[in-house]
Amino acid sequence: MKLRELAERLQCRLEGDGELDITRVAGIEHAQPGDLTFVANPRYQGFLDTTRASAVLVTPDVPAKADGPALLRCAHPYLAFAQALGFLANASAPAPGIDPTSVVALDATIGSDVSIGALAIVGARARIGARTIVHPGAIVGAGAVIGDDCVIHARVSIRERVQIGSRVIVQDGAVIGSDGFGFVRQPDGSHLKIPQHADVVIEDDVEIGANTTIDRPAVGETRVRRGAKIDNLVQVGHGVSIGERTLFAAQVGIAGSTVVEDDVVLAGQVGVAGHIRIGKGVVATAQTGIPNSVEPGLMISGYPAIPNRDWLKSSAVFRNLPALKKRVVELEQRIAELEEKLNACLRSEG
Amino acid sequence: MKLRELAERLQCRLEGDGELDITRVAGIEHAQPGDLTFVANPRYQGFLDTTRASAVLVTPDVPAKADGPALLRCAHPYLAFAQALGFLANASAPAPGIDPTSVVALDATIGSDVSIGALAIVGARARIGARTIVHPGAIVGAGAVIGDDCVIHARVSIRERVQIGSRVIVQDGAVIGSDGFGFVRQPDGSHLKIPQHADVVIEDDVEIGANTTIDRPAVGETRVRRGAKIDNLVQVGHGVSIGERTLFAAQVGIAGSTVVEDDVVLAGQVGVAGHIRIGKGVVATAQTGIPNSVEPGLMISGYPAIPNRDWLKSSAVFRNLPALKKRVVELEQRIAELEEKLNACLRSEG
Amino acid sequence: MKLRELAERLQCRLEGDGELDITRVAGIEHAQPGDLTFVANPRYQGFLDTTRASAVLVTPDVPAKADGPALLRCAHPYLAFAQALGFLANASAPAPGIDPTSVVALDATIGSDVSIGALAIVGARARIGARTIVHPGAIVGAGAVIGDDCVIHARVSIRERVQIGSRVIVQDGAVIGSDGFGFVRQPDGSHLKIPQHADVVIEDDVEIGANTTIDRPAVGETRVRRGAKIDNLVQVGHGVSIGERTLFAAQVGIAGSTVVEDDVVLAGQVGVAGHIRIGKGVVATAQTGIPNSVEPGLMISGYPAIPNRDWLKSSAVFRNLPALKKRVVELEQRIAELEEKLNACLRSEG
């Protein structure tokens, strides 16, 4: 694509040769001639002198260089970079159509320009919206509903009656609507399964990672709200509610019936207990364990979770605990000596 | 279903209109007319005044209300609730029969009234017991044996020669019988794979969660005993033995050759080292890391795991470690002053 | 197999009856007549007196027993044991050939003696090397390249354009090449997906565990280097580089753009932050959380990770923190008494 055209599509101001051919997007350290790259962080401005990229997305305040690469100026270079990747990356959506090896129920409803891949399965009464792509080997259960413009990657399981909004992306191997982990202990000590047949709702613009699992509850619903992004190998328990625009990194686990409010960010391997509420905008650093409800806006760490600032300070003391203990032992010795001296002194006076 | 019939099937005493139509089971806060709900915990008795449910499962001692919902009295309301879900939930098992798109080996043995879904695969010499359901896309490997009344959900991998009992449920995407993680370091530093071809045995009444993995060993066996319930994304290493009625929450990991005795409960994200023994009835709270064998009956927490009571107390001190350190520093200052004063005093006397 | 033949193939010195029939390999405690077992650890030498095995692999220095089992002597009995498992274990590779129910693109390139299982899918322009086995239900995406002598187990997803070397083993349900977790926050607070279409390279002799996920990046590549072994349910983020001969136990997670150098060992459930470097030969014990880069050769533990030796000492103090706090409180009381006494003493002198 000509740099001039790219600048127009990204709504950037062009400084340089608009006739340059841009064929790829790359990181600034690895970029080659023909590549577009970006500087979003002032720390990386130094690379402008050395990058081999043909063009760089920068903010309006970055000084121009003679003999430097062409510049595309805009308020949010990283956002423009993401958009440029969409234009230039080596992506290829499958063509619309229903693969003859797929198994689509006669009473399923398939929207216009849908693509259903090889050996994919669409169950009875399922409905799939316009332009949605169901990749090879994916399974859409009986009565499930998927909106428009979704991408269901290979080998995904969407269980019966699950409801999925529009523009949802589900990566390979994810399972949506598996049975929640619910049992009741019987008098003989064995566990009776509580049937789990209630609803799972995935709202618009959600992304769900590879091999992630989202359970359905016995009653009520499990719901992932609009714009939430969930990474790989995450567990969402039955009856959980995930707020809008939440971000869950890989291997996060949320136990049953918990409410995660909007704009929460959970880093990798965070665990959240069941039946609690994580307030709006809470941020938990990696591996945090959250046993109780958390007030909105807090940044938390550790297990059990405490405010991040406190945890950092306590962790700094933790690594020197043996030294602290030694200081206490020394104090005990010094004080014993003092006590002895003072008592001797008092006795001698008495 | 008429409330009278439901009462009979649940063996509950009915107080109220037996002609009521009950169509759904719901939680007490969300129940609507036509719903059955329950109160198992005295804390929820207050909802009896406000619930819109038509009928409520309660213990014999709960006082009746004029104008309240109909009551179904029994010793274990939560157990009855679980049973009612089985009668009323929106569940539908696939009809028996072998889908024409499935791939079933000619020498496989298929029991009576088995259901084999679309694009499922049953390998050579595999045996599947009566009334078992193999959902679409599931794979039963060569020589694997599955008992009666099992439910193998979509896209499960049951590897070659794995043995599964009766009434076992396996959620979507689980893998049973993958190769254990066993290597021997060669003189040049590289890792030689130790072939992992021995047995995996899943006994009766086990449930295995979505995308959970259970490895096979090189020699001996991996065994999950009767009535164990394993949640999603759990790792069971090669040669592990899981006791009867154990409960593993999501994302638990058990390293190779470990023995988990009966009635152990491991909460979410717990990790257990290899070659150790977890005694009968041990309970580990979420994220506990267990590096060594544990005596029966203990409740443990933390990493490395210690008794839960100690861990709670230590954690309470942990969050105030900076304050504790400050107190030690102050003590050091005070004692230095005291030493100086006392020495000055002693000198002046001398 | 005759013991004599086994000894020759394992290049061991035989002491005993070479005509013995060996049919199985077993652990020394469970071995039966007809079994071969091994003693690699001197602690197990005592079992030589009691084992029922017909033959035992031992080092040259182990004393022979009259009436004991036959001995196979070699420098590395455990290595020989692993090799013997390869000869004797109950393994059976599928025959070469393309199953008629598989879906192989007309323009895919399939090497000699390849096996493609039932309902497996090989996409457009994909290339599969000689003698590679693609098990049932596995999916090889468009343009993906797989080398010689690989084993791709059932229901694996190898996404479009992923490159895999030779002798690579991928266990069931693993996903290679899923989209990295990359978003840019837009002015309205929502997250715009950064398209993730760049490369994933898996080098020779790598093993990847069941339901493990390896993401592709937006730019650059994700690379797993020669001889790395990755267990089940591991997350490898986008743009990560995994060094040669690294070992990752189950449920490890590596966040994006991190470099793990050669010969690193991460035990189960270890988490590694993004954009950092783990030096050559680092060992992290189970559940370690690594927020910052680590110098080569360190053994680390805890979260945040510190040297293992320090962590063990600090953990020992941690479990007695309440007692330590009590000692500080007692010191404060004793010092207050001392101060009072001394002041009284000084006053009386004054």
* Rounded mean pLDDT, C95-119: 97
Mean pLDDT of chain C: 95
pLDDT of residue A90: 65
Q: Which of B102, B153, B181 to mutate to test the interface with C (most CBs of C within 10 A)?
A: B181
H/E element holding B86?
helix B77-88
pLDDT digits (tens, 9 = 90+) for C213-225: 999 999 999 999 9
Q: Which one from C30, C191, C197, C238 is the annotated catalytic residue?
A: C238
Q: Which residue of chain C comes nearest to B319, CA vs CA?
A: C321
Q: What is the pLDDT of residue B224?
A: 98
Q: What is the mean pLDDT of residues B323-348?
A: 90
Strand residue runs (E) in C247-296:
247-248, 253-254, 259-260, 265-266, 271-272, 277-278, 283-284, 289-290
The pLDDT of residue B320: 95
Please report which confidence band the pLDDT of residue B45 belongs to, taking 50, 70 and 90 as the band edges.
confident
Question: Does C90 score more than 70 pLDDT?
Answer: no
A63-77 pLDDT, tens digit per residue, is 888 888 999 999 999
Which residues have C-beta within 8 Å of that of residue A127, sequence separation ≥ 6?
A: A108, A109, A111, A144, A145, A146
Q: Is the pLDDT reported for residue C67 higher than 80?
A: yes
Tens-place pLDDT, residues C73-84: 999 999 999 999
* pLDDT value, residue A143: 97
Contacts of B264 in chain A (CB under 8 A): none
In the prediction, which pLDDT does C344 show?
83
Place of tokens 């319930």: B229
Smallest Cα distance from A87 to chain B, Å = 34
Helix/strand/coil for C85 = helix
CB contact under 8 A, C198 and A81: no
From C347, which residue of chain B is nearest by alpha-carbon distance? B345
pLDDT at C187 over 80: yes
Shortest distance between the Cα of C233 and any Cα of chain B, in A, equals 7
Q: Over the stretch A35-61, which tens digit does the pLDDT of each residue have?
A: 999 998 888 888 888 999 999 999 999
Segment C121-170, tens digit of pLDDT: 999 999 999 999 999 999 999 999 999 999 999 999 999 999 999 999 99
Chains that touch A (3 or more CB pairs under 8 A): B, C
pLDDT at B327 over 90: yes
Tokens of B7: 């009462």
Which residues does chain C have within 8 Å of residue B221's beta carbon, measured at their own beta carbons? Answer: none
A304-344 pLDDT tens trace:
999 999 999 999 999 999 999 999 999 999 999 998 888 88
Q: Is the pLDDT of residue A7 over 70?
A: yes
Q: Which of B184, B311, B341 faces C342 most closely, judged by CB atoms?
A: B341
Contact B213 C227 (CB under 8 A): no
Q: What pLDDT is recorded for position A346?
A: 78
- AA letter at A236: V
DSSP result, A279-318: PTT-EE-TT-EE-S-B-TT-EEETTTTEEHHHHHHHHHHH
Of B99, B280, B201, B310, which Cα lies nearest the Cα of A189?
Answer: B280
Model confidence at C86, pLDDT cuts 50, 70, 90, reads: confident
- Closest residue of chain A to B330, computed from CA coordinates: A331
Residue-level pLDDT at B182: 96
Count chain A–chain B contacts defined by CB atoms under 8 A: 198
The residues of B assigned a catalytic role are 238
| pLDDT mean over A143-149 | 98
SS3 at position C20 = coil
Q: Show residues of chain A in contact with C220, CB under 8 Å.
A: 26-27, 30
Which residues in chain A have Cβ-Cβ distances shorter than 8 Å to C175?
171-173, 210-211, 232
* Contact: B153, A178; criterion CB under 8 Å: yes
Cross-chain Cβ contact C82/B184 below 8 Å: yes
Do B317 and C325 make contact, defined as CB atoms within 8 angstroms? yes
For residue C215, list chain A residues with Cβ-Cβ distance below 8 A. 210, 232
Contact C229 B155 (CB under 8 A): no
Tell me what ipTM this predicted complex has: 0.94
Locate C70 and state its tokens. 């036959």
More confident residue, B65 or B186: B186
Instruction: Give C86→chain B minimum CA distance, Å.
Output: 6
Q: In the predicted model, what is the mean pLDDT of residues C192-204?
A: 96
Structure tokens at B79: 């157990």
Mean pLDDT of A287-306: 98
Shortest distance, CA B15 to any CA of chain A (angstroms): 24
**Res B222 pLDDT > 90:** yes
B to C CB pairs, distance under 8 Å: 199
Asked if C119's CB is within 8 angstroms of B103's CB, the reply is yes
Nearest CA in chain B to C24: B219
Distance from the A198 Cα atom to the nearest Cα atom in chain B, whole angstroms: 7
Judged against a pLDDT cut of 80, whether residue B91 lies above it is answered with no
Residue B65's pLDDT band, with cuts at 50, 70 and 90, is: confident
* pLDDT score of A116: 98
pLDDT digits (tens, 9 = 90+) for A150-178: 999 999 999 999 999 999 999 999 999 99
The residue among C171, C208, C247 with the most chain B CBs within 10 A of its CB, best to mutate, is: C171
How far away is chain A from the Cα of B87, in angstroms, using its nearest Cα? Answer: 9
- State residue B310 phi and psi, 5-degree precision: -65, -40
- Identify which of C81, C90, C338 has the shortest CB distance to residue B338: C338
pLDDT tens for C304-336 read 999 999 999 999 999 999 999 999 999 999 999
A85 to chain C, closest Cα gap in Å: 6
A-chain residues within 8 Å CB-CB of B325?
317, 324
Q: 3-state DSSP call for residue C55?
A: strand
- The single-letter DSSP state of residue B2 is B
Cβ(B278)–Cβ(B220) under 8 Å? no
Q: What share of chain C has pLDDT > 70, as a percent?
A: 99
Report chain C residues whose CB lies below 8 A from the CB of A325.
Answer: 317, 324
| Whole-number CA gyration radius for chain A | 29
pLDDT digits (tens, 9 = 90+) for C9-64: 999 999 999 999 999 999 888 899 999 999 988 888 888 889 999 999 999 999 88
Contact between A245 and C189 using a beta-carbon 8 Å cutoff: yes
CB pairs under 8 A between A and C: 197
Nearest-by-Cβ selection for B25 from A219, A235, A237: A219
- Residue range B189-201: average pLDDT? 95
Q: Which of A93-97, B132-136, C310-314 comes out lowest in average pLDDT?
A: A93-97
Give the model's pLDDT for residue B90: 65
Query: Which residue in chain B has the smallest CA separation from C38?
Result: B219
Task: Supply the pLDDT for residue A350.
Answer: 58
Touching B: which chains, 3+ CB pairs < 8 A?
A, C
* Residue-wise DSSP of B273-332: -SS-EEPTT-EE-TT-EE-S-B-TT-EEETTTTEEHHHHHHHHHHHTTHHHHHHHHHHHH
Burial C204-227 (b: 16+ CB within 10 A, else e): bbbbbbbbbbbbbbbbbbbbbbbb
Interface mutation target, options A87, A232, A251, A335, chain C, most CBs of C under 10 Å? A232
- Cβ of A193 within 8 Å of Cβ of B169? The answer is yes
Say what the pLDDT of residue B350 is.
Answer: 58
From the list B30, B207, B332, the residue facing A193 with the nearest CB is B207
Phi/psi at A316 (5° precision): -65, -40
Taking the CB of residue A76, how many other CB atoms lie within 10 A of it? 18
Q: For residue C350, what pLDDT is reported? A: 58
User: Which of C321, C328, C343 is the mutation pick for testing B, counting most B CBs within 10 A?
Assistant: C321
